[in-house]
Amino acid sequence: MRKITACLLTILGAITPTAISDSATRNFGSYYYVSHYDDQSHQQDYNYYNVVTKEPSKLEQIVEPKTWNRPASNYTFSYLEEDEFGPSNWGALSPSCNGLYQSPVSLAVNRSLFVRKKRPLELWGLQSRPTRITLVNEGGSAAYFFDYRKADHPRLRGGPLKVDYMFYQFHYHLGSEHSLEGQRSTSELHLVFYNSLYESYESAQNQADGIAVIALLYDVLKKDRIDTLNKWTRYLSKVIEEDHEYSIPNYGLFSLSDVTQTTTWPYFSYEGSLTTPPCSETVQWIVVTQRMMMTKSELKKMRQLKGRGGEWVLNSRPNQALNFRRVFLY
Ligand SMILES: [Zn+2]
């Protein structure tokens, strides 16, 4: 195992411009602080926001209970443990939520198997321009549904996937769901794809190998000067209320390359579930190890969305047991 880790460090060291010191052999966390920004300020940014991205129980000490302003709508599941259908009681809504192959999980390099011979992960249609993007407030966070001309529809293939998967939508969670090396991030974005053997997401979601999700974890840039790094945050103010929808005007349409930038990052892969009820265990997860950045102002916009759990919604499911699963590092 030690040999594999050492080899891995050498390989990843070659990929990233910043060398990894010997002291990082066990604590691999420093790897995640190298991206587009200098190491020290990124580390500071991370520490600064870490305080609001810890486990939910710690978060509650920071957010005063009275700020939880619950809506009257008849939502079913909740992210608040004290609620009737809080996270540990989702099994009452859907038995799959008590399954052995649930998501999210805690991911760590030294508990993963490194894949040497791999097919590259390809996101075909990364540059495709959609004909429409509809933004929906799905209860405290937003989902983006894309329409494309048939020939332009983005598909994901390669890596751990045996067939092509069609792009369906992306959405985000406030508070990351997966944790990397024991640490959570400020937010996690999920790009959802369904198996191309099926007609639609709905018909694929309960089938074995039905779904593939790319997860991108975000930290917040401490600098105030930069307002926007992610085009997709621009229209959030149009869907403040739960269930509100907004169709992004033509000039604001963007391609998936504006979201993921690339698909050449190293990533963890494992078999798990949807992270909300019905918690179907049909998801091939692809969790990117390289953290993305968002600005303070973007985070503020995200927190303005109302819905499930009220204002300042935390909508990340706590980590689930890995049980008998193996996690692969590509
Ligand atoms: Zn999600």
pLDDT, one tens digit per residue, over 42-98 is 333 333 333 333 333 333 333 333 333 344 344 578 888 888 888 999 999 999 999
How confident is the model at residue 1, as a pLDDT? 46
| Secondary structure class of 187 (helix, strand, coil) | strand
Sign of CA dihedral 100, 210, 77, 91: negative
pLDDT, mean of residues 297-321: 84
Q: Two tokens at 281?
A: 């265990």
Q: How far, in Å, is the centroid of ligand 1 from the Cα of 215?
A: 8
Q: How far, in Å, is the centroid of ligand 1 from the Cα of 229?
A: 21
Question: In Å, how far are 25, 45, 97, 307 from 42, measured between CA atoms?
Answer: 20, 5, 36, 31
Q: How far, in Å, is the centroid of ligand 1 from the Cα of 314?
A: 12
Of the candidates 298, 322, 270, which has an alpha carbon nearest to the alpha carbon of residue 189? 298
pLDDT tens readout for residues 219-239? 999 888 888 899 999 999 999
H or E element that contains 42:
helix 39-50
Q: How far, in Å, is the centroid of ligand 1 from the Cα of 278?
A: 12
The rounded mean pLDDT for the chain is 81
How confident is the model at residue 309, as a pLDDT? 56
Domain range spanning residue 309? 2-329
Question: In Å, how far are 134, 139, 188, 269 from 171, measured between CA atoms?
Answer: 12, 11, 9, 19
Q: How far, in Å, is the centroid of ligand 1 from the Cα of 242?
A: 17
Q: Let me know: does 212 contact 193? Beta carbons within 8 Å.
A: yes
How confident is the model at residue 288, as a pLDDT? 97
Of the candidates 320, 322, 303, 299, which has an alpha carbon nearest to the alpha carbon of residue 311? 303
Q: Is the pLDDT of residue 158 over 80?
A: yes
Q: How far, in Å, is the centroid of ligand 1 from the Cα of 275?
A: 6
- The structural domain count of the chain equals 1
Least confident of 49-53, 187-191, 301-305, 314-318: 49-53
Q: How far, in Å, is the centroid of ligand 1 from the Cα of 121?
A: 20
Of the candidates 251, 225, 227, 249, which has an alpha carbon nearest to the alpha carbon of residue 238? 249
> With a threshold of 0.85, does the pTM exceed it?
no
Q: How far, in Å, is the centroid of ligand 1 from the Cα of 39?
A: 29
Q: Is the pLDDT of residue 302 over 80?
A: yes
CATH number for the domain harbouring residue 66: 3.10.200.10
